Amino acid sequence: MGRLEGKSVIITGAGSGIGRAASLLFTREGAKLIAVDRSDSVRETAKLVSDAGGTVEAVTADAGSENDVKAFIARAVSTYGKLDVIWANAGIGGGLVPLADQTVDHWQEILRINLIGPFLAIKYAMPHMIAQKHGAIVCTASVAGLKSGASGHPYAASKAGVISLVQTTAYSLSGTGVRINAVCPGLIETGMTKPIFDNARERGTDGKIGQLNPLKRAGQPHELAAMGLFLASDEASYVNGQAFPVDGGLTASMPYAGKPI
């Protein structure tokens, strides 16, 4: 029996990268999935899951829209009769725009998706989970939310906000049986980080990618999915309010500040 056998799960940002890897892994472990992304690539994810024998419905939605979040959570409950797990994974990068050149609109869009999105997922998933006296919420933060040097200002601030949201929500959920944790990816090869990898390969410096962490390599989406699976499963029944770096050991010292690839 899989670790998520029979559980109703929502994963946002499921169209690619970590979200797609998690969709495939969670359904292999028995989850019944609502895969969400604002891109139509979520339908490709759903096809991959279905072809592998998994149970999935694809939903095109904006994880930072309150109406969309309410709708896809309601769909999970109506389709599968309950909601056991939600992974608020959807996020956007912010680039490396100099601080003086950043705009309020730029900040607001990053915060809308990266921080308000997880808040909305928590807000509307929470009542269903509290009513059934169990549930697991996972949010995608970043090593950029732990220490400086990993990304631009608005992205780092949004991810630090996710970590704080997870910690404070854990106490807001005291006694309910609902757990919440965050995963903090390091340098993972996804659509968001593709420019880093592409530029390094064009310059012939791809051998330097990931060399600042003790494992001396970049990470892959399936390695984040594995951590998310643990946090979503009953095996993590006493794990709550934490933010876990999955970064090859990079945050053990954070040596990369000021050292671009």
Superfamily of domain 8-189+220-247: NAD(P)-binding Rossmann-like Domain (3.40.50.720)
Instruction: Say yes or no to pLDDT of 140 above 90.
Output: yes
Query: What is the pLDDT, as a whole number, of residue 65?
Result: 98
- How many whole angstroms separate alpha carbon 192 and alpha carbon 120? 22
Instruction: Say yes or no to pLDDT of 188 above 90.
Output: no
Q: How confident is the model at residue 261 (pLDDT cuts 50, 70, 90)?
A: very low
What is the chain's length? 261
Domain boundaries, the chain: 8-189+220-247
Q: How confident is the model at residue 260 (pLDDT cuts 50, 70, 90)?
A: very low
Query: Phi, psi at residue 91, to the nearest 5°?
Result: -165, 160
Sheet with 243-246: strands ordered across = 55-60, 32-37, 8-12, 85-88, 135-140, 178-185, 243-246
Rounded mean pLDDT, 91-118:
91
pLDDT digits (tens, 9 = 90+) for 26-35: 999 999 999 9
For residue 219, the 8-state DSSP code is: B
Instruction: Say yes or no to pLDDT of 205 above 80.
Output: no
Instruction: Say yes or no to pLDDT of 201 above 80.
Output: no
Rounded mean pLDDT, 193-202:
64
Helix 153-172 with 104-111: angle, nearest 10 deg: 40
The 3-state DSSP class for residue 34 equals strand
Residues 152 and 197: beta-carbon distance below 8 Å: no
- The token duo for 120 is 């909305």
Instruction: Say yes or no to pLDDT of 153 above 80.
Output: yes
Query: What is the pLDDT, as a whole number, of residue 254?
Result: 55
Query: What is the pLDDT, as a whole number, of residue 86?
Result: 99
**Catalytic residue list:** 155
Instruction: Say yes or no to pLDDT of 257 above 70.
Output: no
**Percent of the chain's residues with pLDDT above 70:** 89
